[in-house]
């Protein structure tokens, strides 16, 4: 019997995850790169020059002086949790093959069950919105015995 290529795709081990995103600075830099892959762009005027105001952890445009947070407009906005907790939650939710209970997520992250449930719902909503932008095409394999074709 042939191996299922989806089931055996290479993942990211917890050790490698912690090496990449193990502290707040690494998470901050990763989020900065995800948000602005070509460098900072002011959301108001589009200017690229900026400075960082360390006391408030905001970025300020050198041209129009608009201040913006790295997390503004993301699922991390208005949170008091460190980015390390959010990144670990993303890892745990996306690596669980059959899902993860919010109680277990809370215990693993060191947060309350209600906080873990909110985190999980935000992550699931973000994943749903991303999936909605990419409709299914061609052959869709549900499991090895059930296939159907989407005709558009």
Query: Buried (b) or exposed (e) across 57-78, using 16+ Cβ within 10 A?
Result: ebbbbeeeeeebebbeeeebee
Q: Is this model's pTM higher than 0.85 or not?
A: no
pLDDT tens column, 41-66: 999 999 999 999 988 889 999 999 99
Task: Give the model confidence (pLDDT) of 78-110 as tens digits.
Answer: 899 999 999 999 999 998 888 899 999 999 999
**Rounded Cα–Cα distance for residues 19 and 44 (Å):** 35
pLDDT in tens, 9-53: 677 899 999 999 999 999 999 999 999 999 999 999 999 999 999
Q: What is the CATH architecture of 27-74?
A: Single Sheet (2.20)
């Amino acid at each position: 019997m042939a191996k299922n290529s989806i089931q055996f795709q290479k993942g990211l081990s917890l050790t490698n995850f912690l090496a990449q995103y193990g502290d707040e600075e690494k998470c901050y830099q990763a989020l900065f790169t995800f948000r602005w892959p070509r460098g900072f762009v002011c959301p108001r005027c589009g200017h690229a020059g900026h400075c960082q105001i360390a006391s408030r952890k905001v970025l300020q445009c050198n041209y129009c002086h608009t201040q913006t947070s790295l997390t503004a407009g993301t699922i991390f906005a208005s949170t008091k949790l460190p980015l390390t907790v959010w990144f670990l939650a993303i890892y745990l939710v996306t690596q669980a093959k059959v899902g993860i209970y919010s109680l277990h997520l809370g215990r693993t992250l060191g947060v309350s069950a209600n906080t873990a449930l909110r985190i999980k719902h935000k992550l699931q909503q973000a994943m749903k919105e991303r999936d909605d932008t990419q409709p299914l095409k061609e052959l869709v394999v549900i499991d090895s015995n059930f296939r159907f074709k989407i005709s558009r």
